[in-house]
């Protein structure tokens, strides 16, 4: 325990158990910008200086870009796309990932949107009564009848990018 060092938030930094893995679930949600920045910098420092492994759970694409190396996008408890941050954000292949990224607001309101906003239709299925086949098929704009039958396995697209979609 490092009790003498002042932490970035004015308190004392302590990592008493020196965990091998840190799970950060929405670590910056509902924080003001200055506190958010301090938390992000602390997490980044833990990664870079201490070599801390981290699972980051977030809906904030900016936070994901800032802290993550690899990303897994989930829909109803299943990974629908996984890859490096660069691959996944620049070339999303699964329709759900594409819809999520299309919803990210442009930081500068004077900058035109980079792509078309994808609006999903229909209600998400109940997690206790999942549809047959692909879980996303009831909302997917490219679903076919085969999607109702087959729950596709993760298929490699490139070296470090996988998608469980027969049409991706």
Q: Please provide residue 75's backbone torsions phi and psi, each rounded to the nearest 5 degrees.
A: -135, 120
For residues 1 and 110, the model is more confident at 110
Q: What does pTM read for this prediction?
A: 0.80
CA–CA distance, 151 with 137 (Å, rounded to integer):
10
Q: How far is CA 163 from the centre of its chain?
A: 14
pLDDT for residue 14: 54
Tens-digit pLDDT profile for residues 145-168:
999 998 999 999 988 999 999 887
Model confidence at 69, pLDDT cuts 50, 70, 90, reads very high
Mean of the per-residue pLDDT values of the chain: 85
The first and second tokens of residue 23, run together, are 């799970």
pLDDT in tens, 24-66: 999 998 899 899 999 999 999 988 888 889 999 998 888 898 8
> Which tens digits make up the pLDDT trace of 16-31?
567 888 899 999 988 9
């Amino acid at each position: 325990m490092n009790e003498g060092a002042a932490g970035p938030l004015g308190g004392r930094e302590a990592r008493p158990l020196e965990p091998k893995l840190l799970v950060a679930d929405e670590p910056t949600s509902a924080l003001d910008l200055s506190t958010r920045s301090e938390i992000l910098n602390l997490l980044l420092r833990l990664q870079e200086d201490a070599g801390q492994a981290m699972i980051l759970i977030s809906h904030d694409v900016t936070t994901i870009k800032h802290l993550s190396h690899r990303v897994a996008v989930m829909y109803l408890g299943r990974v629908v796309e996984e890859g490096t941050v660069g691959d996944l954000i620049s070339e999303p292949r699964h329709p759900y990932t594409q819809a999520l990224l299309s919803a990210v607001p442009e930081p500068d309101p004077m900058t035109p949107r980079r792509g078309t906003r994808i609006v999903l239709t229909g209600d998400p299925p109940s997690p206790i009564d999942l549809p047959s086949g692909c879980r996303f098929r009831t909302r997917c704009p490219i679903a076919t009848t085969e999607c109702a039958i087959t729950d596709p396995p993760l298929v490699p697209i490139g070296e470090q990018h996988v998608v469980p979609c027969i049409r991706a």
